[in-house]
């Protein structure tokens, strides 16, 4: 059985629910899903907020604050300071992550979101706001996409700040066959001149992954776009809510305060949730059914 319905979420909360949702107690999966589908049908502005969790079923590992690559806590590698001090080591880590992402395939959850946009994009405004950096939403063909934390497949020059897409594989010859998390070699000594550099002849600065690292700020224009989507939405789907960080973690509560209906899709039950709909199970199963694609 793919869904577990929490009693908390089945009881539709009268103070927070838009008037279009009947105040009922749904006791069976089918009626609960049917009710969600009615909300989906009548929605005009749909925001879909996704976290890294959406890619776990594609085999892409999640690197959070407490994870490790080799002997390093990954949050200590994901900073501008670490990059400037140890560019070779940090590029090995991100080369490994690029390789993992490029070898993964969009799963049924990514595909369902993209198909939903393709099917209903003419009569609804549909925007995906993602914290994921692995590019799988784009590869599934999602068009209207805001990548809050940047992308593994874009680079930024540390000298001229130029941001460009980069799908080279490997990104440079010196990184070929590097980056294994199992390596016992904790040193990384690729000379800086062999790491990726800006292609502008007038610049040639060192390139870094265009990712929002710890201590970095998200581009204000990206935040502005995401907030406009959240303010306008009447239905917000949130996928992998426990793994979202601020500001993404705040988007569904903000949308709910504005009167939007919220549906969450999580692998595990979030007992703190008070959203209107909560579908628990693999997102590759719950999303295609909920979105009817």
Min dist CB 198 to Zn ion, Å, is 3
Burial class (CB in 10 A: 0-12, 13-18, 19+), 118: middle
**Cα 230 to Cα 48: distance, rounded to the nearest angstrom:** 9
Instruction: Establish whether 236 is an annotated binding residue.
Output: no
Q: Where are the beta strands (DSSP E) in the chain?
A: 45-50, 68-69, 72-73, 125-130, 145-147, 150-157, 163-165, 207-211, 235-239, 261-266, 277-280
**Cα 110 to Cα 112: distance, rounded to the nearest angstrom:** 6
Contact by Cβ (8 Å): 47, 251: yes
Min dist CB 203 to Zn ion, Å, is 3
Known catalytic residues are 149
Q: Which stretch binds Zn ion (CB under 5 A): 1-9, 23-31, 49-57, 194-202?
A: 194-202
**Cα 59 to Cα 153: distance, rounded to the nearest angstrom:** 18
Helices within 43-155 (DSSP H only): 74-77, 80-85, 87-103, 108-120, 136-139
Q: Which stretch binds Zn ion (CB under 5 A): 70-78, 195-203, 253-261, 283-291?
A: 195-203
Go through 165-178 and write b for each residue having 16 or more CB atoms within 10 A of its CB, e for each that does not.
ebeeebbbebbeeb
Site membership for Zn ion, residue 160 (CB under 5 A): yes
Site membership for Zn ion, residue 157 (CB under 5 A): yes
Min dist CB 60 to Zn ion, Å, is 29
Min dist CB 87 to Zn ion, Å, is 15
* Chain CA centroid to CA 176, Å: 27
Nearer to Zn ion, 61 or 205 (CB): 205
Instruction: Establish whether 157 is an annotated binding residue.
Output: yes
Q: Which position among 61, 170, 181, 205 is part of the footprint of Zn ion (CB under 5 A)? A: 205
Instruction: Establish whether 233 is an annotated binding residue.
Output: no
Q: Which stretch binds Zn ion (CB under 5 A): 55-63, 115-123, 135-143, 203-211?
A: 203-211
Site membership for Zn ion, residue 198 (CB under 5 A): yes
Site membership for Zn ion, residue 256 (CB under 5 A): no
Instruction: Establish whether 198 is an annotated binding residue.
Output: yes
Nearer to Zn ion, 23 or 200 (CB): 200
Min dist CB 206 to Zn ion, Å, is 9
R_g (Cα) of the chain, nearest Å: 21
Extract the annotated binding site. 157, 160, 198, 203
Extract the annotated binding site for Zn(2+). 157, 160, 198, 203
Residues that bind Zn ion (CB under 5 A): 157, 159-160, 162, 198, 200, 203, 205
């Amino acid at each position: 059985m793919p869904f577990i319905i929490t009693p908390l979420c089945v009881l539709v909360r009268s103070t927070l629910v838009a008037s279009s949702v009947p105040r009922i107690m749904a006791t069976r999966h089918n009626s609960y899903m049917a009710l969600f589908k009615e909300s989906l049908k009548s929605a005009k502005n749909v925001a879909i907020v996704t976290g890294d969790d959406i890619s776990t079923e594609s085999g892409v590992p999640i690197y959070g604050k407490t994870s490790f690559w080799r002997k390093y806590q990954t949050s200590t590698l994901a900073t501008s300071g670490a990059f400037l001090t140890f560019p070779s080591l940090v590029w090995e880590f991100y080369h490994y992550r690029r390789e993992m992402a490029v070898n993964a395939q969009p799963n049924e959850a990514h595909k369902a979101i993209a198909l939903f946009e393709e099917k209903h994009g003419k009569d609804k405004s549909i925007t995906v706001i993602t914290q994921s950096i692995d590019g799988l939403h784009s590869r599934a063909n999602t068009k209207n996409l805001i990548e809050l934390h940047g992308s593994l497949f874009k680079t930024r020059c540390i000298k001229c700040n130029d941001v460009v897409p980069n799908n080279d594989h490997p990104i440079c010859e010196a990184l070929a066959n590097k980056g294994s998390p199992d390596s016992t070699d904790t040193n990384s000594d690729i000379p800086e001149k062999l790491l990726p550099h800006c292609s502008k002849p007038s610049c040639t600065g060192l390139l870094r992954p265009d990712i929002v690292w710890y201590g970095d700020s998200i581009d204000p224009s990206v935040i502005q776009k995401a907030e406009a989507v959240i303010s306008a939405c009447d239905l917000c789907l949130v996928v992998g809510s426990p793994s979202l960080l601020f500001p993404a973690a705040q988007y569904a509560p903000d949308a709910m305060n504005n009167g939007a209906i919220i549906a969450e899709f999580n692998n595990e039950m979030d007992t703190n949730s008070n959203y209107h709909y909560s579908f628990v199970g693999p997102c590759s199963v719950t999303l295609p059914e909920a979105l009817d694609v």
